[in-house]
């Protein structure tokens, strides 16, 4: 494999059909040559993503999005060394479409196909644009996952804490739906909160006295529902105040549990602590502000991908694929072509299982 790798990435785990071309140089620096994202707009009437509709939309758009990514990168006549695709976790129909598209491209050009864990894409996403050496503490906050992990290298992850009920992004989405704000919930709640009074509602601080690094958002979500029911019918100011109060409570909860993990995080001698936040919820300004204040107080460095790389995108999938290609070499094409998509795929499972053990169902993430 050449020192410089040009790789096509494909992401279809939820309702974004995305493709990107990334070039990784021998010194580890990267260039994002294209990053195309088609966001489906067919789900608004249902208050959330409908898996069957999402899968059909991926079928209709995948080839078009890949073609646009290759055209923008100037790679329509070849030059792609490998193709990577999200192979789980996610909505199984969408994951299947992305994998089949990537497998067909790899097979037609006899180039490696690299299956990528969607969560690993988020875990490495800060390295798209930042100097982010290992190890670092990762707070992964997305629609389906809220986890704290120690990241020691590519494929080397140790989960420290996770949500015991709802993920942070799920809580934002359900709050938005409860208040009639529509989807996507995170941006809608943040927009409403801009004119709200975050001190009006004394919402609970989950797991205050519980040891460890786990999260919980179910009780906070219930408190929002009870506040809304007590005030119904809600005025615009009521909605803004509830959103601001909810957002503040969520940010404080995330910061408090992260602080515990930072306190216990073993930093190598001569190094400094680094906190990376990734996933769609990392784009929330209130959460970023709370974590910025936290790392400043601890003397750590906060690394956050640009907003367009926090949400689901294919550039992060291409990067993860390129990193594995460099670290492990090209896997046999016949072997990776035989792999099945995985609805569940924990990031911190045995690396051998990550690469070769993909069955129709994985362990619960």
Is 43 known to sit in a ligand binding site? no
143 is in an annotated binding site: yes
Q: Is 38 annotated as a binding residue?
A: no
Distance between CA atoms of 103 and 113, rounded to whole angstroms?
6
**C-alpha dihedral, 252 to 185 to 62 to 353, nearest 10°:** 40
Q: Binding residue per annotation — 280? A: no
Phi-psi region of 25 (alpha: psi -120 to 50; beta: other; left: phi over 0): beta
State the DSSP code for 163: B
Helices (H), the chain: 51-73, 92-109, 118-124, 168-178, 185-193, 218-231, 236-264, 285-298, 307-310, 315-328, 333-337, 351-356
47 is in an annotated binding site: no
Residue 70 token pair: 């290759």
Q: Say whether 152 counts as a known binding-site residue.
A: no
Residue 25 marked ligand-binding: no
Q: Answer yes or no: is 118 a known binding residue.
A: yes
From the CB of residue 351, how many other CB atoms can be counted at a distance below 10 Å?
Answer: 15
122 is in an annotated binding site: yes
Instruction: Tell whether residue 238 is among the known ligand binding residues.
Output: no
Q: Name residue, tokens 């936290």.
A: 294
HSE (side-chain half, CA atoms, 13 Å) at 252? 16
284-289's contacts with Cβ under 8 Å and 24+ in sequence apart are 284/172, 284/186, 284/190, 284/247, 284/251, 285/190, 286/190, 286/193, 286/247, 286/248, 286/250, 286/251, 287/141, 287/247, 287/250, 287/251, 287/254, 289/251
- Residue 142 assigned as binding residue: yes
Annotated binding-site ranges: 118, 122, 140-144, 173, 186, 284, 312
Annotated binding-site residues for Fe cation read: 118, 122, 312
Q: Which residues are annotated as a binding site for substrate?
A: 140-144, 173, 186, 284
């Amino acid at each position: 494999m050449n020192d410089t790798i040009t790789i096509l990435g494909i992401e279809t785990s939820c309702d974004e059909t995305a493709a990107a071309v990334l070039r990784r140089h021998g010194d580890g620096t990267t260039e994002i040559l294209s990053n195309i994202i088609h966001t489906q707009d067919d789900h608004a009437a249902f208050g959330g993503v409908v898996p069957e509709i999402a899968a059909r939309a991926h079928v209709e758009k995948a080839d078009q999005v890949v073609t646009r990514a290759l055209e923008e990168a100037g790679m329509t006549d070849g030059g792609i060394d490998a193709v990577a695709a999200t192979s789980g976790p996610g909505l199984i129909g969408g994951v299947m479409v992305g994998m089949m598209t990537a497998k067909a491209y790899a097979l037609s050009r006899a180039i490696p196909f690299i299956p990528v864990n969607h969560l690993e894409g988020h875990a490495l996403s800060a390295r798209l644009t930042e100097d982010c050496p290992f190890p670092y503490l990762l707070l992964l906050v997305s629609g389906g996952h809220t986890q704290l992990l120690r990241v020691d290298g590519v494929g080397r992850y140790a989960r420290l804490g996770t949500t015991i009920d709802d993920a942070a992004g799920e809580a934002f989405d359900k709050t938005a739906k409860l208040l009639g704000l529509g989807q996507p919930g995170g941006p809608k709640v943040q927009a409403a909160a801009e004119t709200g009074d975050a001190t009006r509602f004394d919402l609970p601080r989950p797991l205050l006295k519980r040891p460890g690094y786990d999260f919980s958002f179910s009780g906070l979500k219930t408190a929002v529902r009870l506040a809304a029911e007590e005030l119904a019918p809600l005025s615009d100011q009521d909605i803004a105040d509830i959103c601001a109060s909810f957002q503040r409570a969520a940010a404080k909860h995330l910061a408090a549990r992260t602080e515990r993990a930072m306190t216990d995080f073993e930093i190598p001698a001569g190094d400094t602590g680094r906190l990376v936040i990734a996933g769609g919820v990392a784009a929330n300004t209130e959460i970023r502000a709370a974590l910025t204040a936290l790392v400043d107080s601890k003397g750590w460095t906060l690394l956050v991908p640009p907003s367009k790389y926090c949400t689901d995108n294919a550039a992060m999938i291409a990067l993860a694929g390129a990193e594995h290609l460099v670290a492990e070499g090209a896997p046999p094409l016949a072997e990776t072509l035989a792999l099945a998509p995985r609805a569940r795929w924990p990031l911190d499972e045995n690396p051998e299982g990550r690469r070769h053990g993909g069955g129709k169902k994985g362990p619960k993430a």
